[in-house]
Amino acid sequence: MSVQPSVRVENLVKRFDDFVAVDHVTFSVKKGEIFGFLGSNGAGKSTIIRMLCGLLRPSGGNAWVGGFDVFSQSEEIKQNIGYMSQRFSLYDELTVEENIDFFSAIYSTPRGSRQQLKQEILEMAGLEERRNTMTRLLPGGWKQRLALGCAVLHQPPILFLDEPTSGVDPIARRQFWELIYQLSERGQTIFMTTHYMDEAEYCHRLALMHEGRIIALDTPRALRKAYRSESLDDVFAAMIQEQEQEQ
């Protein structure tokens, strides 16, 4: 018996007037997989995430998230995913603990388990000693961990991360990835966009995007091997050059 993928996309298209932002994209993501979308700004990565999260209606094609159809079941999708953007979506005038309490209520987590979940999030993010700190006073890396904790409070099976490490220093990014691996090991599916080649190496599989299309999809190791390169930077540059020569 085959296992249903967490995310399935078939010929997905998004047009804005005459501009094609997403051009017939097809892929699937397995349960527990860390799946990365790699590409420059404007490649279509964030547009795809917004469609899969039920925030933007596709112009064509088909897609299912957690078995729910993006066209007809967007509300069900929103209830079964976590979402974190590069803006973190936190309330600066609340403390760390108050932010967790607020998002617990927003996600309608059972009252009887909220205290336990809050403690788990504080421990996971390493924020126990900062629970009473005003969020606006936290360094970027700490804010990032808190935002991730708030995004998974309702224990969603699928987590979307849209360039969540943008503007965060390398050490904080590495610590953030340690948390991502913890979630993946628990069976949660992680779908993230990035333009950092070094952190793309941490993904189980990568889709490389250029001008709204997927130009390659494989493991980081396989992509490097195919181009006989030790660097994803070189792989991506070579693929972009190939695409431009074909046009």
| Domain boundaries, given as residue ranges, for the chain | 30-55+78-220
Dump pLDDT digits (tens) for 145-189: 899 889 888 889 999 998 888 777 788 788 888 889 988 999 999
Tokens 């965060």 -> residue? 168
What class does CATH assign to 30-55+78-220? alpha beta
Question: What pTM was computed for the model?
Answer: 0.89
**Longest Cα–Cα distance in the chain:** 60
pLDDT, residue 247, reads: 63
Q: Which residues of the chain have pLDDT under 50?
A: 1
pLDDT, residue 106, reads: 85
